Structure 1
Amino acid sequence: MSGSESPAVRPRVAGTESVEGVSWTVLLVEDDDTDAFLVSELLDEVAAPLRLTRVRTVAEAIVHTRKVACVLLDLGLPDSEGLSALRRLLAVERGAPVVVLTGLVDEYRGAEAVAAGAQDYLVKGQVDGRDLLRAVRYAIERERADTAALALRESELRAEEKARLERGLLPKPLVDDPTLDHRARYRPGHRQALLGGDFYDMVSTSDGTVHVLLGDVCGHGPDEAALGVSLRIAWRTLVLAGVPDADRLGFLQQVLVSERERDEIFATVCALAIAPDRRSLRMTLAGHPPPALLFPRIAALRGDVVVPALGILDEAVSDEVTIELGEHWALLLATDGLLEGRDSVGGEPLGWEGVLPEVARLWPERGPDGLLDDLIDRVEERNGGPLTDDVALLLLIRGQVP
């Protein structure tokens, strides 16, 4: 006989016995017609919820192993020797779990097979249909459990990595001013598991000035996140070391150029220096959108003085403007992941013109935390789904605001 399915092995449709209503396709790799027929008969005896497909060689089995729930493997095949058949099947990515069939004189091979990665082994002539069905079920369920455990562990590792990145990208600000409140939110683009290259920081200096930074490394992923962490730490160090505002961008660009993986990588920056009396600020924009004032009125700050992003020119350029704030105010900083959300699929970027009306519907009724969460949700709704780029928001509130 030849072919991928022998007439001696009858395809079996699920009987009355099933697991959660599911019938499985099982691949029998057996070159001996008599042994193959006996396996089929044993499963018939217990009306096993299985559909049995038979092949005669490992080469044929490799083609099928991704399409079946379990493999019943005879080790004595014409194109294998010892455990080579098992190892070849286990090497197939996303292949099915394997239960080894061995003769009585080769029972020791079964134990070796389990040690090598088989889910179980059975000795021909010493099992009945229930034993065979039980072994198949066990192999399938254990494989699922192992896969779920691996997925859980990978999820835990991603969560740990995300937490480390959050500590680097979104640190605890070094600000001791009870009159100045702040809230931050971060949502990765496409709701990916890991953070991207958006970062922020806040640092007070001895003269009472509060320095604020919001930045965005182009792209998203672990490399961009690592670069964002490097830039944030460098900026904090420069502030604490007393490096003048005008010189910081030049040093940040040096860090960017030395740490980036590709020459086309750049970073945008919004840097604020809030005066000791908190009534005004100095602002530098390097390729970054300006913040928006939420109180005493809702309006974007002037964005007419914007220098190139870091990494675009050979030398960084710095220019600043002064903004009067008043006694009480609220200020929202955002990376362009929010402002580049679209007004419907394929529509134009919203910008502050499209985002601020959404802010007006939420502020101040939703409060600081509700504003940040709901604002991202509303922009995603208008975008027709998750935003393409990462979103970082930083809300600063001074004094009594509604």
Structure 2
Amino acid sequence: MSVPAPRAPEQAAAPASDAGLTLLVIEGDPAGPLSMPDITEMSGAEGKPVRIRTARNLTEAERLLTDDVHCILLDLADAGAASGAAGGPDELDTLRRVLQLAPHHAVLALTAEADTDRAAEAVRVGAQDYLSRDELDGRVLSRAIRYAVERKRADLAQRQLTESRLRAQENARLERGLLPTPLLAGSGLRFAARYRPGRSRALLGGDFYDMVRTPDGTVHAMIGDVSGHGPDEAALGVELRIAWRALTFAGLCGDELLATLQEVLEHERADDETFATLCAVDISADGRRAGLSLAGHPAPLLVRPGAAPYLLPQEDGGPALGLLRRARWPRRQVELGGLWSLLMYTDGLIEGRVGAGTRRLGQEGMVELIGRRLAEGLRGQELLDAAVAEVQELNGGELTDDLAVLLLDRGGRAPAEGERPHWPAGRAAVPPVRA
């Protein structure tokens, strides 16, 4: 589910450059222009002259406010006239308009010598600093300009950092709420998961997964993929996951459960072209057998110690949800054995490119990749992280499709330090897979 990122604040122009600083002076005194001293930028061994532009009103100031302007000096004594409004508004109102006009520029307020209260109020409104007219000598003004520019840059950087932290916290809360919390207590199974949306700045894609243990001791796990990419598909994936969990706890399984999920999809999808693939397994309480139901989804990968990893049968699976009315999804019984690992995944893991051409990794390439990583001694989350990293490397960069990988493990003791579990390397035979 996409969360738009706020536009990053533009950085104030860097004060230290070969071209030096540029100051925009806004005044509106009909008696004549403000007398400005010669200003030299105080940086390095040789100072650079500060370029000065003068605007008689806000309309002219907007025209002169180009990217190379570093600082604005607003004469509050003439602010009413500079606004161009009949009757002349309050000077601070003009300052507020300047701040709206140039939110990413440093602003200095110029006040009368005795008007310290108005000067302090100008800083409270948003000016970086203030100067009185009797302080208008070149050295003081140069220092004030540089400090104002640096202070504005620091303010913008701090604001951007704060916004990034708040956005990260909000994304973390949303992710905790949208991604599932597996309910496997008492099952003796370990799990690991890896999830990444294909869209930039998205929390969720159209892929979804879940795992629960029902009161009879059966462990149910599923993984699925909604067609398309976008917030509507991500929302539909969340709805299907929640519906699957509720229906599973209600006692539905296999064909009955998938048929009901298809009804949910048909009612919730944005158009009739949207469909979803799904792989569901229900593992017996003793952990040795499982029922497998496929709805247009790639079959899981089974790993046993001492044997090459292989894909579970793909035959007899049903169509993707939402494609055919009154479809059926046979449930195949699978023998898992005593110790095993079961890898469930979406097509984002196998449809990445291999090299610069059009060749895809495919299921056979994935089986070989996982077998090689297992032979290196990787298990659990380390195995998933390494596999996803290699798939991205083979693809030549980030994957464009959503990706979800789920690993359920019924293993013995963890290997001792320096000991590698006995996982054979090499290619594994892959049963025929329907397109």
TM-score interval (norm. to shorter): 0.7 to 0.9
Distance 1:204 1:59, change over 3 A: same
Question: In structure 2, what is the Cα distance between the partners aligned to 1:344 and 1:24?
Answer: 49
Deviations 1:136-175 (A, max 9, x none): 3343333333333332333233323332343334433222
In the alignment, which residue of structure 2 is the partner of 1:68?
69
Residue of 380, 385, 400 corresponding to 2:392? 380
Give, in angstroms, the shift of residue 200 of structure 1.
1.8
Asked if the contact 1:66/1:96 (under 8 Å) is kept, the reply is no
In the alignment, which residue of structure 1 is the partner of 2:5?
none
* Structure with greater helix share of residues: 1
Asked if the contact 2:187/2:217 (under 8 Å) is kept, the reply is no
Distance 1:193 1:60, change over 3 A: farther
Give, in angstroms, the shift of residue 211 of structure 1.
0.6
Residue of 25, 36, 53 corresponding to 1:38? 36
Asked if the contact 1:165/1:225 (under 8 Å) is kept, the reply is no
In the alignment, which residue of structure 1 is the partner of 2:433?
none
Asked if the contact 2:187/2:285 (under 8 Å) is kept, the reply is no
In the alignment, which residue of structure 2 is the partner of 1:135?
144
Give, in angstroms, the shift of residue 203 of structure 1.
1.2
In the alignment, which residue of structure 1 is the partner of 2:173?
164
Give, in angstroms, the shift of residue 250 of structure 1.
3.6
Secondary structure of residue in 1 paired with 2:223: strand
Asked if the contact 1:31/1:55 (under 8 Å) is kept, the reply is no
Question: In structure 1, what is the Cα distance between the partners aligned to 2:326 and 2:171?
Answer: 33
Distance 1:29 1:218, change over 3 A: farther
Give, in angstroms, the shift of residue 362 of structure 1.
0.9
Trace 1:292-303 onto structure 2 (pairs within 5 A): 292-295=301-304, 296-303=307-314
Instruction: Report the more deviating stretch, 351-360 or 164-173.
Output: 164-173
Give, in angstroms, the shift of residue 374 of structure 1.
1.0
Gapped runs of 5+ residues in structure 2? Answer: 1-13, 413-420, 423-435
Trace 1:1-16 onto structure 2 (pairs within 5 A): none
Question: In structure 1, what is the Cα distance between the partners aligned to 2:250 and 2:160?
Answer: 45
Give, in angstroms, the shift of residue 209 of structure 1.
1.8
TM-score by length of 2: 0.74
Distance 1:105 1:309, change over 3 A: farther
Give, in angstroms, the shift of residue 375 of structure 1.
0.9
Question: In structure 1, what is the Cα distance between the partners aligned to 2:310 and 2:213?
Answer: 26
Residue of 384, 393, 407 corresponding to 1:395? 407
Question: In structure 2, what is the Cα distance between the partners aligned to 1:25 and 1:395?
Answer: 60
In the alignment, which residue of structure 2 is the partner of 1:342?
353
Question: In structure 1, what is the Cα distance between the partners aligned to 2:295 and 2:102?
Answer: 47
Secondary structure of residue in 2 paired with 1:28: strand
Trace 1:185-334 onto structure 2 (pairs within 5 A): 185-189=194-198, 192=201, 194-218=203-227, 224-260=233-269, 265-295=274-304, 296-312=307-323, 318-334=329-345
User: Amino acid of the residue matched to residue 301 of structure 1?
Assistant: L
Question: In structure 1, what is the Cα distance between the partners aligned to 2:249 and 2:147?
Answer: 61
Residue of 18, 24, 27 corresponding to 1:27? 24
Question: In structure 2, what is the Cα distance between the partners aligned to 1:67 and 1:266?
Answer: 53
Asked if the contact 1:66/1:94 (under 8 Å) is kept, the reply is no
Question: In structure 2, what is the Cα distance between the partners aligned to 1:223 and 1:300?
Answer: 32
In the alignment, which residue of structure 2 is the partner of 1:370?
382
Deviations 1:29-82 (A, max 9, x none): 44679756515x144689766742414243343353544333223434264654
Question: In structure 2, what is the Cα distance between the partners aligned to 1:241 and 1:353?
Answer: 37
Give, in angstroms, the shift of residue 299 of structure 1.
2.3
Secondary structure of residue in 1 paired with 2:225: strand
Trace 1:171-186 onto structure 2 (pairs within 5 A): 171-177=180-186, 179-186=188-195
Question: In structure 2, what is the Cα distance between the partners aligned to 1:117 and 1:379?
Answer: 50
Distance 1:178 1:306, change over 3 A: closer
Deviations 1:367-386 (A, max 9, x none): 22221111111111111111
Question: In structure 2, what is the Cα distance between the partners aligned to 1:144 and 1:118?
Answer: 13
Instruction: Report the more deviating stretch, 193-202 or 105-114.
Output: 105-114
Asked if the contact 1:27/1:65 (under 8 Å) is kept, the reply is no
Gapped runs of 5+ residues in structure 1? Answer: 1-13
Give, in angstroms, the shift of residue 345 of structure 1.
4.3
Secondary structure of residue in 2 paired with 1:185: strand
In the alignment, which residue of structure 2 is the partner of 1:4?
none
Distance 1:262 1:70, change over 3 A: farther
User: Amino acid of the residue matched to residue 189 of structure 1?
Assistant: G
Distance 1:42 1:220, change over 3 A: same
Asked if the contact 1:26/1:50 (under 8 Å) is kept, the reply is no
Distance 1:253 1:147, change over 3 A: farther
Question: In structure 1, what is the Cα distance between the partners aligned to 2:159 and 2:326?
Answer: 47
User: Amino acid of the residue matched to residue 71 of structure 2?
Assistant: C
User: Amino acid of the residue matched to residue 382 of structure 1?
Assistant: L
Deviations 1:177-219 (A, max 9, x none): 4542211122333664633343321112233321101123445
Instruction: Report the more deviating stretch, 75-84 or 317-326.
Output: 75-84
In the alignment, which residue of structure 2 is the partner of 1:357?
368
TM-score by length of 1: 0.79
Instruction: Report the more deviating stretch, 380-389 or 246-255.
Output: 246-255
Number of equivalenced pairs: 385
Secondary structure of residue in 1 paired with 2:303: strand
Question: In structure 1, what is the Cα distance between the partners aligned to 2:72 and 2:234?
Answer: 43
